[in-house]
Amino acid sequence: MFSKEVEIVNPSGFHVRPAQLFVELAAKFTADIKIQPQGVEMQIDGKSVLGLMTLGLAKGSVVQISATGADAEAAVEQLSALVASGFGEI
Amino acid sequence: MSTNQEVIIQGLGVSDGLKIGKVFVYKTQSNVEVPETQAQDVQAELALLRAAKAESITELEALVAHAERTLGEEKATIIKGQISFLNDPSFYPPMEKLIETDGWNAATAIQKTVNQVAGMLEAMPIEYMKERAADIRDVGRRLASQISGDKGQRLSDIQEPVILVAEDLAPSETVQLDRQFILGFATRVGGKTSHTAILAQSLGIAAVLGLGDAVDQISSGDLLVINGSTGECIIHPTDETISKTAAQMKVEEETKLSLARYANRKAVTLDGVHFEMAANIGTPEEAEGLLDKGAEAVGLYRTEFLFMSRNQMPDEETQFKAYKAAAEALKGKPVVIRTLDIGGDKELPYLTLPHELNPFLGYRAVRLCLDDKPLFKTQLRAILRASAFGNLKVMFPMISGASEWRQAKALWDETRAEVIAEGHKVADKIELGIMIEIPSAALMARTLAKEVDFFSIGTNDLVQYTVAVDRMNEKVAYLYDYFHPAVIRLIKEVIDASNEQGKWTGMCGSMAGDPLAAPLLAGLGLHEWSMSSGVIHKVKRIVTNLDHKACQALATRILELSTPEEIRAELVQFQANIKFD
């Protein structure tokens, strides 16, 4: 399993469009991908727009992205880079 | 005499229209909670759930097809979103799990999941998320109805004109409303930004949402007045209210008719000079029915909306379809397509542009397109291919001088040759023009007129760049005025330059749709006036009652004046002396 912590930096947070972009990228990997907000017990499927939306993560929140499977390392790298880039909003 | 007391209740007016009619209380598919029940047979419940999902997707796909026909592709994506919810890992799989692991029956599993997901969205302090919860509940009701067999009343069974009153109308229900029978609708819940409100506007059906508990006072068969602009509803209207409402409806109808009277006239002055009235559009759907509103052309098709309304760059095929649809809707009348005008205040979510201190003076529009050739060429290819289906013209935004125009023209010629070589049909002659919105281009109009086929003056930016004023800045907004004498001189310069070369000049900024400006623009000899389709009749009303020679004299007088205030005063006085037929 690979995992990485990353901070949400875009002003509008992890809302609909970022969630869609995240899921679009996550769907390209065969690995099982999970998101866990810092200090929260719940894990969300990284390929679920609804799941990510309901987390309602605002700017400044930290999440752990983890993946298991053949392309897990690439998945974690690319997904955390997407989050760190602010989803092109900044 | 009515035996019931007249009651006035207040909701949110979300879609215009004053209507009076008999109420039909529409019961939404059962919104009632089912008692939580354990499964008798887990495998059977799983099969039920799977069948319900498959059936729901089939129904939604049919609704998407219906919505695409009646509302256009853009609005149909609202329903498409519901299909994607059904396929979301956080929605459907948890239901199966509730049956398999926890032993609930299918109906309970659906209810628990919908309540959980929608509940979380509803708890978020963001209006947009709450509205998405409504979409979740809508799709949840559909799933549940497959199992219970209770599909509620069918909207298609309504065969006489009524005002629909409901708890809520889901987007998937709103798209099925037939204007022939639904005069309007009123609901207990709902907000201004809900999908239901947006769909009601698109359908042109009067709607009042968010009436709250007051809605309980309305029963089927009651007479009801609804006002979709003010949000006021009147239950059991008295005879006096009825006649007052009828009178008001008559006035609205007459205004509409008088508008229609002017809309269908050609914009020809009393002494026989014709000006071409055109409309500005942002989507091909807006091109539908434009000819009935009195437009003779589309003077500005803002292609950026096609780029802004999605999460990724629209490919050539998507663009081709949109341009083709606009060309076909105008049935051979001209459609002026403006190439991508992005940057400045308009951003694309998928195209990261560097932050700029002065975005309006920066990397935008044709500057960006000439730099990103693949992006630009994709658009030009789509336009070229669509040109075979109507009368397309193309203009480039933010041209500051001859070299940008020449580069764009060269790229156009190159792309044209490629598209033809690939065997695509392309119109023989496609006029190419430039937007005049930068003063340097206006001052170079005499040179540019030799090379381009037409000019289109974008007054909004032209004023901003000429007077050096940001109209969003309240402290200086008072300086923003298209009646500034410098702006008027630039406009005259551009029109005269095009006339010298036998070319034409259009205008697509808000000045073109201002009835006060009409006599001046007629006097200056502006060839094509492009405006929001809703104001064409107002401008036509002025133009058809003008004497062109008097307008030319007015223009000469105005060019002697030195301030916007003097010019306005002259125009107001001129307007007061127009005799309307």
Task: Tell me the HSE value of B42 on the side-chain side, using a 13 A CA sphere.
Answer: 9
Q: Does A58 touch chain B (CB under 8 A)?
A: no
Cβ contacts of B126 on chain A, cutoff 8 Å: 15, 56
Tokens (6 digits) for B20? 């009076």
From the list B90, B124, B136, which residue is nearest A48 (CB)? B90
In the residue annotation, A72 being an active-site residue is answered as: no
pLDDT reported for residue B47: 95
Q: In angstroms, what CA-CA distances link B135 with B63, B295, B403, B449? A: 14, 37, 51, 53
Q: Which pTM value belongs to this model?
A: 0.56
User: How far apart are the C-alpha atoms of B480 and B466, rounded to whole Å?
Assistant: 10
User: How far apart are the C-alpha atoms of B208 and B18, rounded to whole Å?
Assistant: 11
Nearest-5° angle of CA B147, CA B151, CA B155?
160
CB atoms A50 and B129 under 8 Å: no
Which of A33, A50, A55, A90 would best serve as a mutation to test chain B binding (most B beta carbons within 10 A)? A50
In A, residues 15-34, which contact B (CB 8 Å cutoff)? Answer: 15-17, 20-21, 24
User: How far apart are the C-alpha atoms of B440 and B399, rounded to whole Å?
Assistant: 9
User: How far apart are the C-alpha atoms of A82 and A90, rounded to whole Å?
Assistant: 12
CB atoms B126 and A56 under 8 Å: yes
Query: What was the ipTM of the complex prediction?
Result: 0.78
Q: What is the pLDDT of residues A57-70, one digit of tens each?
A: 888 889 999 999 99
CB count within 10 Å of CB B538 equals 17
Q: Per-residue DSSP letters for B283-310?
A: SHHHHTTTGGGT-SEEEEEETHHHHHTS
With contact defined as beta carbons under 8 Å apart, do B110 and B144 qualify?
Answer: yes
pLDDT reported for residue B2: 45
Tokens (6 digits) for B46? 């799983």
Chain A: residue whose CA lies nearest to B123: A54
Q: Does A89 touch chain B (CB under 8 A)?
A: yes
CB atoms A47 and B124 under 8 Å: no
CB atoms B121 and A17 under 8 Å: no
Q: Is B461 helix (H, G, I), strand (E, B) or coil?
A: helix
pLDDT reported for residue B31: 60
Cβ contacts of A45 on chain B, cutoff 8 Å: 89-90
Q: CA nearest B531: which of B330, B297, B270, B304?
A: B297
With contact defined as beta carbons under 8 Å apart, do B175 and B63 qualify?
Answer: yes
pLDDT reported for residue B29: 57
Task: Tell me the HSE value of B80 on the side-chain side, using a 13 A CA sphere.
Answer: 9
Cβ-based burial of B478 (10 A; exposed 0-12, middle 13-18, buried ≥19): exposed
Cβ-based burial of B139 (10 A; exposed 0-12, middle 13-18, buried ≥19): buried
- Residue ranges and CATH numbers for the domains of chain A are 2-88 (3.30.1340.10)
Q: Per-residue DSSP letters for chain A?
A: -EEEEEE--STT-S-HHHHHHHHHHHTT--SEEEEEETT----EETT-HHHHHHH-PPTT-EEEEEEESTTHHHHHHHHHHHHHTGGG--
Return phi, psi of residue B392, to 5°: -90, 145
CB atoms B89 and A24 under 8 Å: no
pLDDT reported for residue B449: 98
pLDDT reported for residue A89: 67
Nearest-5° angle of CA B510, CA B201, CA B154?
165
Divide the 581 residues of chain B into consecutive groups of 10 and give the mean pLDDT of each group: 78 89 81 82 94 93 85 78 89 94 94 92 78 86 87 74 89 81 90 75 86 91 93 94 92 74 88 95 83 91 84 91 95 96 77 82 93 96 97 98 98 97 95 98 98 96 93 82 97 98 94 95 98 86 95 98 96 92 75
pLDDT reported for residue B345: 65
The dihedral formed by the CA atoms of A17, A23, A26 and A30, expressed in degrees to the nearest 10: -160
Residue ranges with strand state E in B32-102: none
Tokens (6 digits) for A79? 């997904």
Of A3, A4, A9, A15, which residue is the catalytic one? A15
Q: CA nearest B497: which of B563, B421, B445?
A: B445
Report residue A40's pLDDT band, with 50, 70 and 90 as the boundaries: confident
pLDDT reported for residue A20: 82
CB atoms B90 and A15 under 8 Å: no
pLDDT reported for residue B409: 98
User: How far apart are the C-alpha atoms of B197 and B183, rounded to whole Å?
Assistant: 15
User: How far apart are the C-alpha atoms of B511 and B462, rounded to whole Å?
Assistant: 11
From the list A20, A50, A88, which residue is nearest B91 (CB)? A50
User: Is the model's pLDDT at A37 over the cut of 50?
Assistant: yes
- Which amino acid does the sequence have at B314? P
User: Is the model's pLDDT at A21 over the cut of 80?
Assistant: yes
Residue identified by tokens 């000429």 is: B466
Chain A: residue whose CA lies nearest to B120: A54
- Within B101-179, residue ranges assigned H as helices are 106-122, 127-148, 171-174
From the list A15, A47, A54, which residue is nearest B89 (CB)? A47
Distance from CA of A5 to the nearest CA of B (A): 22
Nearest-5° angle of CA B118, CA B187, CA B211?
100
pLDDT reported for residue B413: 97
User: Is the model's pLDDT at A90 over the cut of 80?
Assistant: no
pLDDT reported for residue A51: 87
Cβ contacts of A87 on chain B, cutoff 8 Å: 349
With contact defined as beta carbons under 8 Å apart, do B424 and B380 qualify?
Answer: no
Chain A: residue whose CA lies nearest to B126: A56
Cβ-based burial of B213 (10 A; exposed 0-12, middle 13-18, buried ≥19): exposed
Phi-psi region of B204 (alpha: psi -120 to 50; beta: other; left: phi over 0): left
